[in-house]
Structure formats: C-alpha cells, structure tokens
Structure 1
Amino acid sequence: MKILAFAASNSKKSINKSLVQSALNQLNNSTATTIDINDFEMPIYGEDLEQAHGVPEAAKRFVEAIAEVDALIISLAEHNGSYTVAFKNILDWCSRLDRNIFQNKEILLLATSPGPGGASNVLKFAVNSMPFFGGEVIGEFSLPSFYDNFNAEKMTITDAALDDKFKTALSMIDR
C-alpha cells in the first residue's frame, strides 16, 4: 500500500510530526511519502480572495498528492479543541476544488498532545468530519501526555499498553 503521511500542524517542532515518524518507522508492508503542511501555505480562505485570484496552486498540489496514494496517515494537533488553523485553511481551499478532498481513501488518524487528553477532542471531530471530505476513517489512536509516554530519541511509545494500541491501529493501514 502506498501511504501519504503528515502532521496537521505547522509547528517545526510538532510532537505530531514525531508521532507520524514513529508510525512510518514501523510500517512493514507499505511505502510512505511524507509531506509538511508548511509547503502548502496559502492566504486565509475568503470568497473575495477566491473570486479575485482563484484557488491557489498549493491547494491543487495538496489534492494531487492525495491522488497519488492509496491511503493516508494524519496526526492531528489540537488547537482549542479543533483543527489547527493551518490545516483547516488547507481543507477550506481544497474543498473549493472538490469537496471530496480525500478521494475515498482510507485514513488512519493519530493525535497527541502534552496533556492527558491526547488531543482527543480534535480526533473525535476528525472521525466525524473526514467522511464529509471523502475520507474513510479505518482507525484512530490518541497518545496522551506525549512527553511522559514517548521516547524522542528512539521515536517510540514507552507505555506498553499504549504501544500495543498504536501497533493495532497501524495494522489497520499497513497491510
């Protein structure tokens, strides 16, 4: 299976990027390409901007990157209980091309945060909203208290029970 993976965060030090990398390090049956959403920066979506300038090339490139793969791994950062503005803006612009942004691809959703909630609010939101954008959510995993449960040097989850859940989630897409 060919997978596109990214963290839905524009932070250069994103812990969600670390979680994505950990997932990719454990793939056995798939090949993966990673993207950085910073490479798809666009002005904040607005009708007036769209009418004046059309949809940015970056939105077209994002949709094209999805078209080239079989499935996606997305790790969601949580800002105030929802998507980051950077990721939401990408969705807003891409939806102007076609609401079926994820093109009926399978998606494994991951999320983490420094706190005990593990970005669970945005994860629940994404599970419910991804189908609206043509994504088939086949699994999800939330890592709470990132700095207590993740070894950044080894890029591994240190809590055995959480690591088992992570591997189970990965097995849903790595087939």
Structure 2
Amino acid sequence: MVQLLGLSGALRKGSTNRMLLRNAARVFGECTYDEADLNMPLYNGDLEDGDGIPAPVMLLVEQIRAADAVIISTPEYNKMLSGVLKNALDWVSRVKPQPWVGKPVALMSAAAGRAGGERAQASLVAAMAPFQPQLVLGPDIAVAGSRKEFDETGRLISERYEKNLSLLMSKLRDAI
C-alpha cells in the first residue's frame, strides 16, 4: 500500500488547504494517507543547541522518510508560502540525512485571492529546491477564492480543479 503524507501550510482544522490535501488523497486512489502536524516551535539555533531537535520535528522527519510521496498545500501570506510551512522546512533542514532527497513531492495551494496562491507555490518551489526532492510539477493547482470552491463536506466543487488534481496525482503516482 502506498504511503502518502500531506503537509498543510495552514494550521486551522477547517482550512481550505487541508480540504485540498484530502481531495488530493482521495483522487490519488488506493493509499494510506496521513496529515502531518506542523504546529511546532519556531526554529531557534539556541533551542537546537541546548535541547536538540524537538520531538514534533523528529516525528515529521520520520513521517517524510516513511512516505512514498508527499503532497504539500500552502496558503498565500503576503505573496509567499506560509510561515508555518517555512518554519517546518527550516527545522527539517537541520536533520541529516535529509529525508527529502529524491522523494516525490507535489505542490498545490488554496487561497482567498484571485491567483489562488500561485506566488506562494513559486516561493515553495524555491524553498524546496535545496532539499533535492523529485518535484512533480503541473498541472498547477491553485484554488482561487478557495472558501467558495468546496462543498459542506469539504469536496471540491469545480470539475476543472478536480480534473487537474487527478492529473497531478496520476503524475505523482507514476513518480513513485
């Protein structure tokens, strides 16, 4: 069974980025899906030097290592990926060997604005590049006006997003 891990750049339980990840896992097909908890302390070199890598970070590292593929969805905060997601990436960067190397990873976003988080995705690609994952790019999934794009059960409404998400998840499955 394929192990799929989701990382949401939004901490809110009802965030549209969490909904988007769950839709991605659904259209991915048969898999075991887990969602990582990115609620962890801010990166601080003094904390690392004094106490080592915090337990929530080590849990995330182990989840990434165990996953066959990772899906990441970020909101757009001030034209960038979220601080929550960047902080998690910064912490994971401190662990050797790197769990991201060669790992198939698909990126997506959901945001309130008209662009749906396209700029956040571009900054996420730049943030991921040093880790050398196998980024699976395109079709772009940037859900604009995201609060209106999911029904009351959290399912995507738009056939266009659903179709493109299915194509992206098919490419991710092929990359495994």
CA distance in 1, matches of 2:134, 2:117: 20
**Where does the alignment leave 5 or more consecutive residues of structure 1 unmatched?**
none
Matched, 1:66 2:64: yes
Matched letter for residue 20 of structure 1: L
Give 4+ residue runs of structure 1 displaced > 4 Å after superposition. none
Matched letter for residue 44 of structure 2: G
User: Following TM superposition, by how much is the alpha carbon of 1:32 offset from its aligned partner in structure 2, in angstroms?
Assistant: 2.1
SS at structure 2 position matched to 1:18: helix
What is residue 111 of structure 2 aligned with on the other side? 113
CA distance in 1, matches of 2:98, 2:77: 24
Q: How many residues align?
A: 171
CA distance in 2, matches of 1:89, 1:10: 12
Structure 1, 45-54 or 10-19: larger mean CA deviation: 45-54
What is residue 94 of structure 1 aligned with on the other side? 92
Q: Whose strand proportion is higher, 1 or 2?
A: 1
Matched, 1:17 2:15: no
Q: Evaluate the alpha carbon distance shift between residue 125 and residue 94 of structure 1 in structure 2; reply closer, same or farther with a 3 A threshold.
A: same
Is the contact between residue 4 and residue 31 of structure 2 (CA under 8 Å) also seen in structure 1?
yes
Matched, 1:172 2:141: no
Aligned-residue RMSD, C-alpha = 2.0
User: Following TM superposition, by how much is the alpha carbon of 1:65 offset from its aligned partner in structure 2, in angstroms?
Assistant: 0.7
What is residue 153 of structure 2 aligned with on the other side? 153
User: Following TM superposition, by how much is the alpha carbon of 1:101 offset from its aligned partner in structure 2, in angstroms?
Assistant: 4.1
What is residue 81 of structure 1 aligned with on the other side? 79
Matched letter for residue 15 of structure 1: T
Q: Evaluate the alpha carbon distance shift between residue 128 and residue 11 of structure 1 in structure 2; reply closer, same or farther with a 3 A threshold.
A: same
CA distance in 1, matches of 2:152, 2:28: 18
User: Following TM superposition, by how much is the alpha carbon of 1:99 offset from its aligned partner in structure 2, in angstroms?
Assistant: 7.4
Residue among 51, 55, 58 paired with 1:57: 55
